[in-house]
Structure 1
Amino acid sequence: MAAILHLDMDAFFASVEQHDEPSLKGKPVIIGHHHRGVVSAASYEARVYGVRSAMPVSEAKRRCPHGVFLPGNRRRYSEVSRVVMATLGRFSPLVEPASIDEAYVDISGCETLFGPPETMARAMKAAIREATGLPCSVGVAPVKFIAKIASDYDKPDGLTIVSPETALDFLGPLPVSKIPGVGKRAEESLARLGIRVVADIRRHEPEFLARHCGKWGLDLYDKAHARGSAVVCTDREAKSVSAENTFEADTADRDILAAWLLKQAERVGRELRQEGLRGRTVTIKLKFNTFKQITRSRTLAEPTASDSAIFETARALLEAEPLPHPLRLIGVGVSQFGEPPRQLALLEPPGKKQARHDAQIDAALDRIRDKFGKAAIMRGRLFEYERKGERKEEDASGGRGPEAPGPPIGRKV
């Protein structure tokens, strides 16, 4: 019989910060310092004040003005995540990372090596704490979605085992919002049907749920009866790599926007090269100060991990887009990984020489930044964009210049 374990690191980003800086232990740590951004993570000390992930930072500061607000360190979090995933691999070869701080593990048949599920789960929690110094919560169940619910049942540092015999009783009294995929709007729709807890779903026939909720209603019916997938996919590939920034002040200045696109293209290109990926589709994300959000994409003839190719495509997409309102956020991403089928050519395709030249530049920049830090070198084009931004600020201020040095507008969140 299948036994699926779901592991979720507790307040992961904040916990890493508290581990790395012991003076932060016991303090309300909040990842997200940009006043126009959102909270990425909040320690349990901050959650006492109602601070939650995805909350506007301005609201978090209102609720917890004495909190320690940090920008976060994605590279450090990724490093710790790799240690966590490697530790899970010592217990089972079937590990499916679900995000940077959670994973599914198929522990079926591992009893002879590590004992029953509870014993194995405790050993896994202890191994992760030894390897990283961090706590985690674990749920074990016959199917994946119940294991995920179980890992959240007794946080932090929790362990919940749901056997096939107790699965229905475990699910019954839970709010329907605990089922993965049931968001606020779905919860409100179900409430209008008199469905508030999982047991309420079982009072209805599948036809009733399909009539009112469509195909999703049938999936909901199955989940209410503890039916779901127990397949752990070990070869899940990234679907996209992206970067975005929320600005300190709204802007429609295309030079400033281009500067941010170039910075983001460098971040995306570097991550693609580190992961050995190349993508064909470049997408930009624009959020106006009206909070309307749009995306625009272009698919290239050849997959790329080149900073220059990503930037030029993103900039062309931006230039083709009217800006009826200033932007509060811009982002760029690359997707559709892999090589497309193609016919071999006798002659070198146009642009191939330039692509090799760009790859050499990217590789050189990567080596310099690996050795001396990401701020050690800057592309001349980015330097020119920033100088233009500074000159425009000087003109706007009557020649006095900007009050504070630094990038034209915005900070990474």
Structure 2
Amino acid sequence: MTPALCRDCGRRDPVGPNCPECGGRRLLRHPELFALTIAHIDCDAFYASIEKRDRPELLTRPVIVGGGRRGVVSAACYVARTSGVRSAMPMFKALALCPDAVVIKPDMAKYVATARQMREMMETLTPLVQPLSIDEAVLDLSGTEALHRAPPAIVLARFARAVETRLGITVSIGLAPNRLLAKLAAERDKPRGFGVLGAEAAAWLAPQPVGLLPGVGPALARKLGAAGFTRLGQLAVLEAREAARRFGEDGPGLVARARGEDTRRVDPARETKSISAETTFDSDLRTLAELEVPLWRLCEKLGRRLGEKGFGAAGVVLKLKTAAFESRTRTVRLGRPTRLPEMLFRAAQPMLAKEATGAAFRLIGVGAQPLAPGDQADLPDLADPDSARRADRWAAVEKLRARFGEGVVVSGRGLPGKPRPG
């Protein structure tokens, strides 16, 4: 008999379409259900779910968390998503799709507090918890069956019910033999889902579109499609040498993921060694003026991430990928740590200028490495009397954006068609 579990009451191996214990229909069945140990836990519409928890009158209403009309969507509940609203969508587009949505400004302090409670609950399951974002983590429950007197699948089902009871939000869970498959399993049945992928993963992946894989965005999917690869099974049969020839250094890893292979360990002590931001273009860019626009936007994003994580950049890394999937990485050390977009841009722009000599690029990224403590970033400097003004200006911009949305202040460098900054 295939191992089974009732997610509502925890009964093991229920028979029939309904649980004989509680009558529930949320039954899990999988040949490896009680043997798999890697779990991916992802909160469902985290910010929006917290707002609905705190305002029950909004339970059935479409809710969007984000800035004003010129801002962007930070999160959308599943009711709003049925109208096509998605995270990072400009607010005016979201409201055009869902005009009756309730828009709520983000309350990060509240979200962080809930995330901290969630993390504490995860750490009672296993010490091997690796956070991936504020609302997402991967866990390794190997060897915990004796502690909990139950296999990981049962422990995770209990956890999901406890989150709903104690925190008033829901999670989706993926259970698999590795991190990649656990993430894909978690995404199969959102919201309030519990997906399982085991030995059948390769067969399940084969007919899926290439865009299913994490890291394969629309632009890369189009590139792969143009080369004749639209399904993961078409990639999975490539040998590593052929993959490298076709897709450069990222090719073998891409093919391995298409097979469902992933050797990454769950590492709770993983040290943050770098912080970065990157973007893949909808169409290839060639000129320096074209490339500087996304570079500036990424420098703004990188500066914000450095501030949020309490670091400064002691060095800047520029990453480019050509239309032929050739990766180019350039680095420069800084005289003084910074997290100001203007200083990050000043460091990255000369490196970009040396590379933008006519080649077509499909991706650009900028990163901070090595990192410096945040309290060492952008200290006053007698040799640079404008340093304090730059820091104050950036702080004022970020304060306005936090209050009124991303679009309230836009630098000319971030606008397409503008002349190249000096």
Q: TM-score, normalised by structure 2?
A: 0.61
The structural deviation recorded for 1:232 is: 0.8
**CA distance change for structure 1 residues 159 and 91 in 2, over 3 Å: closer, same or farther?**
same
1:31–1:42 Cα contact (<8 Å) kept: yes
1:142–1:230 Cα contact (<8 Å) kept: no
SS of 1:279's partner is: strand
| Whole-angstrom CA distance in 1 between matches of 2:402 and 2:373 | 37
The structural deviation recorded for 1:57 is: 0.9
RMSD: 4.4
1:13–1:41 Cα contact (<8 Å) kept: yes
Q: Please tell me the residue identity of whatever aligns with 2:168.
A: G
| Whole-angstrom CA distance in 2 between matches of 1:278 and 1:14 | 29
Aligned match of 2:71: 37
1:280–1:301 Cα contact (<8 Å) kept: no
Match of 2:179 among 144, 147, 160: 144
2:41–2:137 Cα contact (<8 Å) kept: yes
| Whole-angstrom CA distance in 2 between matches of 1:121 and 1:64 | 35
1:278–1:303 Cα contact (<8 Å) kept: no
Mapped pair 1:169 → 2:203: yes
SS of 1:40's partner is: strand
SS of 2:73's partner is: coil
Aligned match of 1:291: none
| Whole-angstrom CA distance in 1 between matches of 2:162 and 2:252 | 39
The structural deviation recorded for 1:213 is: 1.2
2:315–2:337 Cα contact (<8 Å) kept: no
1:136–1:157 Cα contact (<8 Å) kept: yes
Q: TM-score, normalised by structure 1?
A: 0.63
Q: Deviations over 1:306-348 (max 9, x none)?
A: xxxx77x969989xx9xxxxxxxxxxx98744479xxxxxxxx
2:185–2:195 Cα contact (<8 Å) kept: yes
The structural deviation recorded for 1:118 is: 2.0
**CA distance change for structure 1 residues 21 and 282 in 2, over 3 Å: closer, same or farther?**
farther
1:2–1:230 Cα contact (<8 Å) kept: no
1:139–1:147 Cα contact (<8 Å) kept: yes
The structural deviation recorded for 1:219 is: 1.0
Following superposition of structure 1 onto structure 2, how do residues 2-401 of structure 1 map, counting pairs within 5 Å?
A: 3-114=37-148, 115-163=150-198, 165-238=199-272, 239-240=274-275, 277-281=310-314, 336-338=370-372
2:67–2:404 Cα contact (<8 Å) kept: no
2:67–2:405 Cα contact (<8 Å) kept: no
Structure 1 unaligned blocks of 5 or more: 243-263, 284-296, 305-309, 322-332, 341-350, 355-380, 387-405
Q: Please tell me the residue identity of whatever aligns with 1:24.
A: L
**CA distance change for structure 1 residues 46 and 146 in 2, over 3 Å: closer, same or farther?**
same
| Whole-angstrom CA distance in 2 between matches of 1:7 and 1:237 | 21
Q: Please tell me the residue identity of whatever aligns with 1:187.
A: A
Q: Please tell me the residue identity of whatever aligns with 1:151.
A: A
Q: Report percent identity of matched pairs.
A: 32
**CA distance change for structure 1 residues 226 and 410 in 2, over 3 Å: closer, same or farther?**
closer
| Whole-angstrom CA distance in 1 between matches of 2:402 and 2:160 | 43
2:129–2:266 Cα contact (<8 Å) kept: yes
Aligned match of 2:284: none
Q: Please tell me the residue identity of whatever aligns with 2:243.
A: L
**CA distance change for structure 1 residues 124 and 314 in 2, over 3 Å: closer, same or farther?**
same
**CA distance change for structure 1 residues 20 and 201 in 2, over 3 Å: closer, same or farther?**
same
Aligned match of 2:291: none
**CA distance change for structure 1 residues 317 and 230 in 2, over 3 Å: closer, same or farther?**
closer
2:71–2:404 Cα contact (<8 Å) kept: no
1:138–1:159 Cα contact (<8 Å) kept: yes
The structural deviation recorded for 1:28 is: 0.4
2:71–2:90 Cα contact (<8 Å) kept: yes
The structural deviation recorded for 1:127 is: 2.3
SS of 2:228's partner is: coil
**CA distance change for structure 1 residues 191 and 89 in 2, over 3 Å: closer, same or farther?**
same
**CA distance change for structure 1 residues 300 and 205 in 2, over 3 Å: closer, same or farther?**
closer
The structural deviation recorded for 1:149 is: 0.7
Q: Please tell me the residue identity of whatever aligns with 2:76.
A: A
Q: Deviations over 1:77-134 (max 9, x none)?
A: 1111111111110000000000111000011122223322321220121222233111
SS of 2:262's partner is: coil
**CA distance change for structure 1 residues 337 and 158 in 2, over 3 Å: closer, same or farther?**
same
Q: Please tell me the residue identity of whatever aligns with 1:411.
A: F
The structural deviation recorded for 1:146 is: 0.9
The structural deviation recorded for 1:50 is: 0.6
Q: Please tell me the residue identity of whatever aligns with 2:86.
A: R
Structure 2 unaligned blocks of 5 or more: 1-34, 278-300, 317-330, 350-366, 383-391, 407-422
1:137–1:151 Cα contact (<8 Å) kept: yes
| Whole-angstrom CA distance in 1 between matches of 2:404 and 2:71 | 10
1:28–1:67 Cα contact (<8 Å) kept: yes
Q: Please tell me the residue identity of whatever aligns with 1:48.
A: T
Aligned match of 1:343: none
SS of 2:172's partner is: strand
User: Bigger shift: 230-239 or 35-44?
Assistant: 230-239
| Whole-angstrom CA distance in 1 between matches of 2:137 and 2:344 | 38
